[in-house]
Amino acid sequence: MIMATAMAETQKGLIDVRDMGVTFGANDNKIIAVDNVSLNVQPGEFVSLIGPSGCGKSTLLSIVAGFVKPTSGDAKLDGNAITKPGSDRGVVFQQYSLFPWLSVRKNVEFGLKMAGLEQSKRNTTARALLDLAELLSFENHYPDQLSGGMKQRIGIVRALATSPQVLLMDEPFGALDTQTRVVMQEILTNIWQQFKISVLFITHDIEESIFLSDRIYVMTARPGRIKAEIKVPLPRPRRAEMTDTPEFMNLVQELKGLIREESLAAMAPEIKDRGLSGFGMKVGPKGVGDIF
Amino acid sequence: MGSMARAKVVALSMVDKHPEPQPLLAVKLSPAENPTAEAGADAAAPINSSALPAPEPEVVPTVSLTKVFRNLLAQITRERITTAALACVSIGALFLFWYIGTKYRVEFYIRFKNVPTPYEVFQQLTQVGLSNKYLVNIAISVRRILLGFFIAMAIGVPLGLAIGKYQRVRDLFMPVVEILRPIPAIAWVPMSIMLWPNNEASIVFITFIGAFFPILLNTIHGVHSLDGVLIRAAKCLGASEFRLFLNVILPGSLPHIFTGLAVGMGVAWVSLIAAEMISGQFGVGYFTWEAYSLVDYPAIVLGMITIGFLGLACSGIIRMVGSLLMPWLAFAPGGKR
Ligand SMILES: Nc1ncnc2c1ncn2[C@@H]1O[C@H](COP(=O)(O)OP(=O)(O)OP(=O)(O)O)[C@@H](O)[C@H]1O
Ligand SMILES: [Mg+2]
């Protein structure tokens, strides 16, 4: 921590969330989505946020992105309070969010165009980024012509085009199949190392969070609090084979235990209502089934 | 893979060459030249090894007639032949019905007694069809349509975008829109004659009313059906309010705007013809109604067919402009193709 603050002097991208609370609605249908959460991402660090469905992960990310205002507490980027969205924070969404009317290259150029950069420079930068994502040959395609994995890769480099200090990712690979996911994780690790950028990464997938992160925050069921903070001491560069090592397995077990408790807590009302038999049907694709 | 890596270094060093205080990217990208860049390439390979930019084979552009002909032939698929055949059948059936009805002077509740035969109408076309009077009437109708339609578009689209985007603008305009919208354009005829100084202006106004509401409402709907995540994405890519409008909201609602334009064009024709019949001098509607007053039966049918073709041409143009402006729709799931 102390060492990290010293680093912040030289490198930007420090996310600092303090005593954050978010409440939706009023009176009877008041929902406390996030309750008293403090977390930080050090410059250049890769941090995951993991927790049961509906615990407020997306809400937290939306606050750091500047879409939602917290009810209490504050969020800062490099010491400045976050008030609105801006190109200093790249965001990758779970849904595909490429502009369908723009070609792949124009999508990547979008942020640069908004910054008023001239066409030839936008072009050069976008092509370099597309090359990095191994998608240069698709520069003139439309998003609807691409597979899900390609779209998300473009989403990532589009968010990187404006050289943000941090990258916020809300279950970016949630919609992808397992094989594609594994490849995407390696690509992301690579990009992260090249850009030396801070990442706040939300996921449902325990192994994904371990594979990618330096540190993992585990959240409780609603109202979302930080239940645990876990360091991932695995060396880098990480390779897919690493998932078979005992160190990795132990971390998986530890996280599974933490999350199982919370998922059961999150489901408690439903279990009471329906009994355990109706349980499997009730839980959606994002539910317990994914985590276990 | 080797050539890939080289290409990458070239592309990136091009970025690095800009010494201006430009994007941080120039600095940020440079680490790509370190050895991990190779690893990135390896990792991605399983997904799209076929997509690696293999140098395109040189295509020597030769114009060979047989090739053109073969391309044309290739476009004649079974699918298209069936479509064309069915189109002929449906239009043919219409003509056959008309022909038989008039030939045998069918009187079975509907009466074909006074209806001109297809041949009579064709003759009418060859005589009247090339006369000045007929062509001038067409020209005048087209001018009225274009004026009314383009004014409706010029007001309807920006207003629709503003209403769709801003709650306050919506609160201000929607009550009036909701009251005026159910009134058909034809019901505006007397009021329009009172309002406007001359006949021409009042007919254009009625055409405008007809086109305006479909355009406005579809534009509003287009803004509302825009995926919120696109707006959020644009905002965190640094889009200002104005640029958001121009670069996201407008293109994002374009498909719905074009639906509105097509519907608006149809209603504009309906309104125009009605207005011309009631209050008009000149115009295809007037031509048709005048033929009725003069008991010139073939001219009535000629007028009708003319209206049909003009309407078809107008919506065809809108559709064409639409697909030129929105090439991405060809790939959209459930899209036009
Ligand atoms: N705009 C909103 N208005 C009212 N309630 C909201 C709103 N956004 C989120 N919530 C509620 O806040 C809680 C947290 O939502 P959030 O989307 O942050 O959860 P999550 O952890 O991202 O879940 P998931 O893993 O399923 O994506 C949920 O109970 C949700 O119903
Ligand atoms: Mg979420």
Higher local confidence (pLDDT), B101 or A269:
B101
A274 pLDDT band, cuts 50/70/90, is: low
Average of pLDDT values for B322-331?
92
Average of pLDDT values for B235-245?
92
Chain A 105-124, CB below 8 Å of chain B: which residues? 110-115, 117, 121, 124
pLDDT of residue B61: 53
Average of pLDDT values for B227-251?
93
Q: Which helix (H) or strand (E) holds B27?
A: helix B25-29
Higher local confidence (pLDDT), B178 or B32:
B178
pLDDT of residue A55: 87
Higher local confidence (pLDDT), B57 or A271:
A271
Q: What is the pLDDT of residues B255-302, one digit of tens each?
A: 999 999 999 999 999 999 999 998 778 999 999 998 898 888 888 999
Percent of all residues in chain B with a pLDDT value above 70, rounded to a whole number = 80
pLDDT at A216 over 80: yes
pLDDT at B167 over 90: yes
Of B22, B25, B31, the CB nearest to A196: B31
Average of pLDDT values for A142-162?
92
Both tokens assigned to A42:
């050090």
Average of pLDDT values for A34-51?
92
| Terminal Cα-to-Cα distance of chain A (whole angstroms) | 32
- Asked if A89 and A164 touch (Cβ cutoff 8 Å), the reply is yes
Tell whether the torsion through CA atoms of B77, B79, B85 and B90 is positive or negative. Answer: negative
A138 pLDDT band, cuts 50/70/90, is: very high
Chain A contact present for B5, CB below 8 A: no
Determine the residue of A23, A27, A32, A57 to mutate for testing ligand 1's pocket, defined as the one with the most ligand atoms within 8 A of the Cβ atom.
A57
As a whole number of angstroms, the distance between CA A145 and CA B97 comes to 46
Average of pLDDT values for B48-58?
43
Mutation target to probe the A interface, by most A beta carbons within 10 A, among B236, B240, B336 is B236
Higher local confidence (pLDDT), B50 or A10:
A10
Beta bridge partners of residue A17, listed in sequence order = A39, A75
pLDDT at A24 over 60: yes
pLDDT of residue B55: 43
As a whole number of angstroms, the distance between CA B155 and CA B150 comes to 9
Average of pLDDT values for A224-240?
87
As a whole number of angstroms, the distance between CA B285 and CA A165 comes to 65
CA atoms in the 13 A half-sphere facing the CB of A27: 1
Average of pLDDT values for B125-131?
79
What does the mean pLDDT of chain A come to? 85
Q: Ligand 1 centre and the CA of A29: distance in Å?
A: 14
When divided into structural domains, chain A yields a total of 1
Q: How far is CA B162 from CA A152, B87, B181, B224, B242, in A?
A: 31, 42, 18, 11, 11
A144 pLDDT band, cuts 50/70/90, is: very high
Beta strands A166-170 and A72-77 are: unpaired
pLDDT of residue B133: 85
pLDDT of residue B63: 64
pLDDT at B45 over 60: no
Establish if A123 belongs to a structural domain: no
Establish if A52 belongs to a structural domain: yes
- Asked if A8 and A14 touch (Cβ cutoff 8 Å), the reply is yes
Establish if A222 belongs to a structural domain: yes
**Chain A residues whose beta carbon lies within 8 Å of the beta carbon of residue B332:** 100, 144
Domain extent at residue A238? 2-88+164-291
Average of pLDDT values for A242-264?
87
B39-53, B86-100, B172-186, B279-293: segment of lowest average pLDDT: B39-53
Average of pLDDT values for A91-101?
92
Average of pLDDT values for B126-152?
89
A270 pLDDT band, cuts 50/70/90, is: low
Beta strands A166-170 and A215-219 are: unpaired
As a whole number of angstroms, the distance between CA B81 and CA B221 comes to 37
As a whole number of angstroms, the distance between CA B72 and CA A267 comes to 63
As a whole number of angstroms, the distance between CA B149 and CA B29 comes to 51
Average of pLDDT values for A43-50?
94
Neighbours of A23 (CB within 10 A): 15
Chain A contact present for B68, CB below 8 A: no
In 3D space, the residue among B169, B177, B248, B270 whose CA is nearest the CA of residue B218 turns out to be: B177
pLDDT of residue B22: 40
pLDDT at A114 over 90: yes
Establish if A108 belongs to a structural domain: no
- Asked if B153 and B219 touch (Cβ cutoff 8 Å), the reply is no
The one-letter code for the residue type at B293 is S
The one-letter code for the residue type at B219 is T
Q: What is the domain-level CATH number for residue A43? A: 3.40.50.300
Helix pair angle (A104-114, A148-160), 10° resolution: 20
- ipTM of the complex in this document: 0.83
Establish if A158 belongs to a structural domain: no
Task: Determine if the peptide bond prior to A223 is cis (ω within 30°).
Answer: yes
Computed on alpha carbons and rounded to an integer, the radius of gyration of chain B in Å comes to 29
Establish if A196 belongs to a structural domain: yes
pLDDT at B109 over 80: yes
**pTM of structure:** 0.78
As a whole number of angstroms, the distance between CA A278 and CA A264 comes to 14
**Chain A residues whose beta carbon lies within 8 Å of the beta carbon of residue B227:** 95, 97
Q: Ligand 2 centre and the CA of B317: distance in Å?
A: 44
Task: Determine the number of helices (DSSP H) and then strands (DSSP E) in chain B.
Answer: 15, 2
A95 pLDDT band, cuts 50/70/90, is: confident
Tell whether the torsion through CA atoms of B243, B248, B254 and B260 is positive or negative. Answer: negative
Nearest chain B residue to A182, by CA: B43
pLDDT at A3 over 50: no
What does the mean pLDDT of chain B come to? 81
A69-73, A173-177, A230-234, B213-217: segment of lowest average pLDDT: A173-177
pLDDT at B317 over 90: yes
pLDDT at B21 over 50: no
pLDDT of residue B128: 76
As a whole number of angstroms, the distance between CA B109 and CA B106 comes to 9
Establish if A96 belongs to a structural domain: no
Establish if A272 belongs to a structural domain: yes
Q: Is A77 helix (H, G, I), strand (E, B) or coil?
A: strand
Q: Is A16 helix (H, G, I), strand (E, B) or coil?
A: strand
pLDDT of residue A276: 52
- Asked if A122 and B2 touch (Cβ cutoff 8 Å), the reply is no
pLDDT at B7 over 50: no
